Amino acid sequence: QVQLVESGGGLVQPGGSLRLSCVASGFIFSRYAMSWYRQAPGMERELVAGLSSFLGIEPRYADSVKGRFTISRDNAKSTVYLQMNSLKPEDTAVYYCKADRQIGLGPTSSWGQGTQVTVSS
């Protein structure tokens, strides 16, 4: 059973930091590209950051988070992280992780259930 479980969200003041984690199970993590998306109320879900399963491929970031957010992965722990610094109120959203298969067989893609991030004073 494919499962993605996010954690690390919460309430933080502007300028603060949070680190989100997404633990994967039920598939071969190293064969999947991992991404973070977010969705604010009344808005479409948007890509925040993406990281390929292939070594040497640079991560992708939305322009709005470049220089503030960092995506990373630990294949041994089947976990993807999103380090978020210098948070702004406009970063408030539900954050989701997503897995997309790049190598071999298995589920094509899967989403986590989301974790709420609220940036407010």
68-106 confidence digits (pLDDT tens) = 999 999 999 999 999 999 999 999 999 999 999 998 888
Identify the three-state secondary structure at position 110: strand
pLDDT at 105: 82
Strands (E), 1-121: 3-7, 10-12, 18-25, 32-39, 46-51, 60-61, 69-74, 79-84, 93-101, 109-111, 115-119
Residue-wise pLDDT for 107-121, tens only, equals 889 999 999 999 999
Assign 3-state DSSP to the chain and report helix, strand, coil percentages, each to 5.
Answer: 5, 50, 40
How many residues are listed for the chain in this entry?
A: 121
Would you place residue 55 in the very low, low, confident or very high pLDDT band (cuts 50, 70, 90)? confident
Residue-wise pLDDT for 8-33, tens only, equals 999 999 999 999 999 999 999 999 99
